[in-house]
Structure 1
Amino acid sequence: METKDLQQATLLKRYKRFLVDVEQEGKTFTIYCNNTGAMTGCAEPGFTALYSTSGNPKRKYQHTLEKTITANGHFVGVNTIKANDIVKQAIEQDLVPELKGYETLRTEVKYGEENSRIDLLLSDSNKVDCYIEIKSTTLLLDDDSGLGAFPDAKSTRGQKHLRELMTMKQQGNRSVLVFLVQHTGIKAVTAAQHIDPKYTDLIKEVLNQGVEILVLHTHITAEQTTVSHSSSFVSPEKVDFSQYS
């Protein structure tokens, strides 16, 4: 996915969840951040902020934080709204072998028992429907090993989505949870048991029920973000979370 005409500034602070102050050529101003997560390690003072500019005069804040560059030079995609489009584009370009061969792709389709909308729904006359839930993953636990985790804060919404995927699988459909890695320092992904143990318990349950977990990594530059490869999900049972608590 292309991200044209991004400008750079120095990140000063993130506050009130949706606001980020930056400095550019001695001028300080505020830009909008649509990421509702904790963004741990993704928006620290001194990082480089890459932001877009809206042409909508009615917007209070004309600029949106799209990506950051960490002190170690890692690119991080922090605009979570873009995650679904990145995966959708990758599927349409046949860059995800695990999700190839479907006739139609729909987005934001109502489904489940808890008033949900599935991120992507793949359908084919010769196959069962494939329900895909996408989670943007940016929490780097260990810079040396490259281990990342989801979520970065307790997520009742994420828990609901796991239950919905499990229900779809029980009804005979294919259910896939995609962790879209938008941090170039992350080499592998697990569930953040030390942050949301209930989510981790549900991860174990959905795996036992046959829900698939697909970890998609991205190549990120200032100009674009594209899916590069996949990796195996790391079972939280194999991780010592005491070092991260």
Structure 2
Amino acid sequence: MGASKKSKKRGIIAWPPLIKGTLIKRYKRFLADIRLDDGQIVTAHCPNSGSMKACCQPGQAVYVSYHDNPKRKLNYTWELIHMPTSLVGVNTQIPNRLTAHAIQTGDVDELSGYQTVRREIRAGENSRIDILLEDPGRRPCYVEVKNCTLVEDGLATFPDAVTTRGQKHLETLQDLVATGCRCVMFYLIQRMDADRFAPADHIDPDYGTKLRRAAKNGVEILAYDVLIDFEGIRLNTKLPIDLRFSV
């Protein structure tokens, strides 16, 4: 499985100190009850608005960080879950940070050589794109990053729930390509047990249709998995993309 993969990547994002526990339940999307190993039951912030299908099963080992900030409603943040075949990153703030960091450290060959890396850029009508790469004499390159945690039998798929916002991003990227920009959809798979990527037609067939259309219209598609341990997370391997329609 992915845990045996070797990586030459340099850029790593370190976790804050992690506290081990057991997931009791996730509810209201952003809340999770967790029994810490010392017996204390806490409610942690779940920084993930997706369905988290295949990575939020009660009884699994989880890891949280503690934040002593009086402005926070919840002191704990759920960071990782230990599924049978891989550690899985829960925090959806990580993919944008990790992808931008990996680009800056030269760990994404397809996106190397740009002078500046900017994040959260306005593009199109009432839309933002995660990363903009710029370099004199080159076309600007917009990169939209998506967090992917749904993996079954080695196949990573996105999305894990219907996403009209994600569909809008595909349309925005196509519009930017039409103006002469370079555009990339970047799927960051926050686990180590995937060997290929495809759109989740069985969950959101409209997204799959629009992704294929975007690819035909010049939007590039990249999917990378990661290496995760209890120290941090880093980019690992580029995965093959399968755009054949399936349900």
1:150-178 Cα distance to aligned partner (Å, 9 max, x none): 00000011001000011011111000000
1:173-218 Cα distance to aligned partner (Å, 9 max, x none): 0000000010212221100001101101101100110100001110
The residue aligned with 1:81 is: 93
Deviations 1:73-119 (A, max 9, x none): 41111100111000011111100000001111101111113x11110
Q: Is this contact kept in 2: 1:83–1:134, CA < 8 A?
A: yes
Q: CA deviation at 1:55?
A: 2.4
Give the Å deviation of 1:58: 2.1
RMSD: 1.0
Indicate conservation of the 8 Å contact 1:84/1:134, yes or no: yes
Would you say how many aligned residue pairs link Structure 1 and Structure 2? 234
Distance 1:103 1:58 in 2: 37
Structure 1: 5+ residue runs without aligned partners?
none
Q: Determine whether 1:204 maps to 2:212.
A: yes
Q: State yes or no: 1:177 paired with 2:190.
A: no
Give 1:29's aligned residue: 42
Does the CA contact (< 8 Å) of 2:195 and 2:240 recur in 1? no
**For each residue in 1:45-82, what CA deviation from the matched residue of structure 2 results, as whole angstroms up to 9, or x when unmatched?**
11111111112112111000111111x14111110011
**Is the Cα–Cα contact under 8 Å of residues 178 and 215 in structure 1 kept in the other structure?**
yes
Distance 2:171 2:152 in 1: 26
Aligned residue for 1:133? Answer: 144
Which of 218, 221, 233 is matched with 2:226 structurally? 218
Contact 1:137 1:148 in 2 (8 A): yes
What secondary structure, in the 3-state scheme, does the structure 1 residue paired with 2:211 have?
Answer: helix
Matches of 1:194 and 1:73, distance apart in 2: 22
The separation in 2 between residues aligned to 1:6 and 1:236, in whole angstroms, is: 40
Choose the corresponding residue for 2:119, options 88, 107, 118: 107
Contact 1:107 1:119 in 2 (8 A): yes
> Greater relative contact order: 1 or 2 (C-alpha under 8 angstroms, separation 6 or more)?
2
Task: Please name the residue that 1:156 is paired with.
Answer: 164
C-alpha distance in structure 2 between counterparts of 1:214 and 1:84, whole Å: 14
Matched residues in 1 for 2:196 and 2:230: separation?
23
Matches within 5 A, 1:2-151: 2-24=14-36, 25-70=38-83, 72-113=84-125, 115-142=126-153, 146-151=154-159
Structure 2 vs 1, CA of residues 81 and 50 (structure 1 numbering), >3 Å: closer, same or farther?
same
Identical aligned residues as a percent: 40
Contact kept? 2:80, 2:90, Cα under 8 Å? yes
Runs of 4+ that moved beyond 6 A: none
Q: Gaps spanning 5+ residues in structure 2: where?
A: 1-12
User: Could you tell me whether the CA contact under 8 Å between 1:174 and 1:211 is conserved in 2?
Assistant: yes
CA distance in 1, matches of 2:244, 2:51: 20
Q: 2 CA distance for matches of 1:16 and 1:217?
A: 28
TM-score of the aligned structures, taking structure 2 as reference length: 0.92
SS for the counterpart of 2:238 is strand
Structure 1 length-normalised TM: 0.93
Conservation of the 8 A alpha-carbon contact between 1:193 and 1:236: no
Deviation at 1:33, TM superposition (A): 0.4
